[in-house]
Structure 1
Amino acid sequence: MEIFTALRILLKLAEIWIPGDDKFMNSIKQNKGTEPDSYCGCSSSLPTLGPWPGHTYKIRDPETKRQITLVNGELRVEKDLGDQGGYHWVCIERDGYLGFLSPTTHVYMGHNNWGQFVAREYHHWAWEFFNTRAHPDGGQVLLTVHGNKMRKMAIQKGTWKLVETEGEGTAWEFVEVRTESD
């Protein structure tokens, strides 16, 4: 797909370039990578990537800047608590699913049978399996397997609680954190 897009760009540039004509250079200067390209309707900027196994992240709601945090054994969204910890999550992979491990308590983020998200297990079981999906407005939606359905993680309105929903879900921002081993 990327090769095809690159070839289309080169062909488009070849169509507009005539030796000695400033039209070619002006078209390059005007394309800063933020506006949709007129010939394909796509943005030439790189997409926001989701989490990747082996990397550590803060998982943050871009609207409120609150992040998924483990406070006194309870999973919730909180403002940045400084260096107190509880809001770094190591992304791991098992059987093609992602998991998020707290490096301070060594428990995995997961869900219970009542549609709530928790962090209690020391193993990466099926109820700690996640996938992500890019949201069209930016960020990543976290999806979890519940029975034979995929449900999205959302912040319960008016609270700090994280719940499963079949609706929109929260588009999370994954902010990579540098660790001592990096």
Structure 2
Amino acid sequence: MTIRDDASDTAPTAASTGWGPLTPSHTVVSDDADDLEQEKKTDYGMSTCAETVPLPGNTYVIRARDSGRAITIFNRELQLMEWDCAGDKSSHWECEERGGWLAFKNPVGGKYIGHNGNGVFHAQAEWHLLWESVCARKHPEGGFLLLNRGWWWWNPLQKMDVDESGRRLVHNSDRGTVWEFLRV
């Protein structure tokens, strides 16, 4: 259903009592099938919800902006998978903070997202330490890049990316996957 604003000039109307942005006095609703079909299409390249900033104390589904798939624990492995919004907590991540760094812990297994020292992300750690520390950097086109510390504190930050298989999460120094956070 497409709604069109019929206010076409800047003069005040009955619905708008002053100068400036007008409040339309009425709207027109389209019954055109093409308009209705256009509203049903989902473009995962664009966010389907309001931009949410990850903050400690909240729980999120962390979803790849381009595919809509979520970071999920499946068979004790961290993977990018289709998200079941019906309440599957294997895709839920509690955001915590320590020393200014964020960390994401799965509420079911109690494990943190971190890396294994070989450039692959996993959810095996029981504590928020160096390898589980992440920073969420705002992406200019919306969403966030997730950056993670390398082997030592002096190593440059690495971006979290999806590997060629489309399932595993890996370090990448050049490009990173753009993520969005859905608060649950």
Could you tell me the TM-score, scaled by structure 1's length? 0.71
Q: Does 1:62 align with 2:65?
A: yes
Per the alignment, residue 79 of structure 2 pairs with 76
User: Structure 1 residues 49 and 65, CA, compared in 2 at 3 Å: closer, same or farther?
Assistant: closer
Any runs of at least 4 consecutive aligned residues in structure 1 with deviations exceeding 6 A, and if so which?
A: none
Unaligned runs of 5+ in 2: 1-9, 24-49
Q: Quick one: which of 137, 142, 148 aligns to 2:141?
A: 137
Q: Quick one: which of 155, 161, 166 aligns to 2:168?
A: 161
Unaligned runs of 5+ in 1: 1-20, 31-46, 178-182
Separation in structure 2 between the aligned mates of residue 171 and residue 25 of structure 1, nearest angstrom: 43
Separation in structure 2 between the aligned mates of residue 139 and residue 77 of structure 1, nearest angstrom: 17
Give 1:25 deviation, angstroms: 4.7
Give 1:165 deviation, angstroms: 0.5
Q: Does 1:29 align with 2:22?
A: yes
Give 1:94 deviation, angstroms: 0.4
- Residue identity opposite 2:69 in structure 1: R
Separation in structure 2 between the aligned mates of residue 73 and residue 26 of structure 1, nearest angstrom: 61
Separation in structure 2 between the aligned mates of residue 64 and residue 176 of structure 1, nearest angstrom: 18
Separation in structure 2 between the aligned mates of residue 58 and residue 84 of structure 1, nearest angstrom: 10
Give 1:50 deviation, angstroms: 1.8
- Residue identity opposite 1:172 in structure 2: W
How many residues end up aligned between the 2 structures? 141
RMSD: 2.1
Give 1:168 deviation, angstroms: 1.9
Give 1:152 deviation, angstroms: 0.6
Q: Does 1:86 align with 2:79?
A: no
Q: Quick one: which of 121, 128, 152 aligns to 2:125?
A: 121
2:131 partner SS:
helix
Could you tell me the TM-score, scaled by structure 2's length? 0.71
User: Structure 1 residues 27 and 119, CA, compared in 2 at 3 Å: closer, same or farther?
Assistant: same
Deviations 1:87-135 (A, max 9, x none): 0000000011000010000010001111000100111111000001110
Separation in structure 2 between the aligned mates of residue 150 and residue 163 of structure 1, nearest angstrom: 13
Deviations 1:134-166 (A, max 9, x none): 101110110001131101101113330100101
Percent identical among aligned pairs is 35
User: Structure 1 residues 28 and 124, CA, compared in 2 at 3 Å: closer, same or farther?
Assistant: same
User: Structure 1 residues 25 and 117, CA, compared in 2 at 3 Å: closer, same or farther?
Assistant: farther
Give 1:27 deviation, angstroms: 3.6
User: Structure 1 residues 88 and 26, CA, compared in 2 at 3 Å: closer, same or farther?
Assistant: same
Greater helix share, 1 or 2?
A: 1
Separation in structure 2 between the aligned mates of residue 49 and residue 159 of structure 1, nearest angstrom: 24
